Chain A
Amino acid sequence: MLIGIDVGGTTTDAVVVDGNKVVKTAYVPTNHDNLLKCLLAALDELVQGIDTRKIERVVLSTTLITNMIAEGKTDPVALVLIPGPGTNPKDYALGKSIILDGAIDFRGKEIDRLKESQIKEAASQIRTQGLSRVAVVGKFCQRNHAHELKVGEILAAALPGGKIELGHKVSGQLNFPRRAATTMLTAATKDRYELFAKDVAAALKERKISSPVYILKADGGTLPLDKSLQMPVETIFSGPAASIMGVLALTKAGRTSVVVDIGGTTTDLALILSGKPLLSAKGARVGSLLTHVRAFAVKSVAIGGDSAVAVSCHALTVGPHRNGPPLCMGGKGPTPTDALRVLGLSQIGDAAKAEEAMQIVAEGLGCTANEAAQKVVDAVVDKIVFEVNEMFREWTEEPAYRIWEIMKKEMLSAQSVVGVGGGAPLLVPLVAARLKAAAIVPEYASVANAIGAAVARPTLTLNLHIDTENGEFSVAEEGLTGRVTDQKMTPEDAGRLARRLLAERAARLGIGEYASEAEVTYSEFFNMIRGWSTVGRLMDVRMEIPAGLLPSWGGC
């Protein structure tokens, strides 16, 4: 049996899955002040009458990190940058930082030395500010860790008890400001996340649940809870990831679908293209910071069942604000929920109040209440359809850097619109009709997130960079480097090395059994020519265990 728990924005959902059947579900309202408490409440309700010895796996998806960041409850961090030549670091919206001399270039060559006295001065500055957590990030330090390591070492010695996070350990991908932001967020959330993880582990032990515990990441993959301590930021947006994985689990494989999660004030949209959830081309945006966190491309549209409906100068607007609950549910102003009630599309709330709400709109527009209700619903559907089309357009217009990438990209359109969340059953058929797609509201739509968490398999990415002229390779994800002795290394050799490194990394993360699922998703090979002869090769291989479902689920 598998357990999935999704601590969502309004409710915490939990399911028990056995094979490909949902055995039991549970819901409790989410209490933002104590996520652990509501997680455990859902769990306790769920496991009543269930033999906990039969639980093989527990997967959590939680808004913990998302909330922590949104509410500014993270720990303060000193940001130390080694930017080298290029952009003025002030042009990055990273907040206050300490800038050090020293530079590494794109090949990993040192082009400017560190100044030890400057680093020591930075340490005393950090001490004066009373900070103990430090993020140290250098431009191109993923290609040569020496500067970050040296700075880290000096700072650690100068700041007893300080916690120092190095950029190359957090991400090895190109994009220095994103790496700085991700490293800073990691340092800012790690301790609190660790506390949460410990509490979860203790609570489960108390309940005699000894199965492994996993956490769902933003890319829809699971990771053992204890291994996730190193990368807390990966768990942001695990809610939307859970809902997309849920849809993947509850619909036919291989289809192109739009996932529509209609909530009170926002509607989350995501795409599944030929059965594969679309990942955001770049990392996720967390608040005002752009990160390297791999996440599904989710678009949040400020429209939902509780959005405020207003009329000014005969023009109708829906959202983006919420002025309390719908009028038919005791609120003050008209909302789409009232409109749906008037049209007889839903039975939620008081019919007379809903009529009253639409009457207000009708007066502004100079029409009947029924017509007004229709206009409100049309406006919501228009907005969602527009944003879905935008998502497809943005996907086709993602920059490409190779001829074949530009030539191959075909136009895809939605075959189905899959609804999850409260407002889904009412509006999804209307959206689907407009997109000329099938409307699907799966049987377990309301617990889709928990199901998604329960049956998601691990994901893993490994970016390998090889420079045969320098005789070095580096793995972006964990700051691992090594030597390559074969100057004549072929792309096939690079692929084999990537596979071996991925298997080792998977084993370290406790997901070794999935290593064979890994596939090469990107590779590039360049001969380095100096003068008229080849002096070496630069090779990049990205290998991934993509998001997917456990084999035991087997689909619907």
Chain B
Amino acid sequence: MCLGIPGKVVEIRDDGPMRMATVDYGGARKEACLAYVPEVGLGDYVIVHVGFAISQLDEEEALRTLELLRMMDEEGLAMELGDAPAAVTPSAGAA
């Protein structure tokens, strides 16, 4: 029930007092209620829980975070390669 996944709003319509959307999750499409994210428009990404969008994803923040993570080497934030203990398994974190 806490397993919300991001999807793209591909259609919006009014169902009585309720603003409803069709949300595309990489090919699978489901209906979601937009009552709690009134600012969301077509093409926006939302996180949906039990048929309700609860949050709009912030593309700028998302890109900024990824950029920071990718720059970890260059920034010298993190890396002292060879320093990591042998217990680290190569499969960890791979998806």
A and B together in one complex? no
User: Footprint of B on A, CB under 8 Å?
Assistant: none
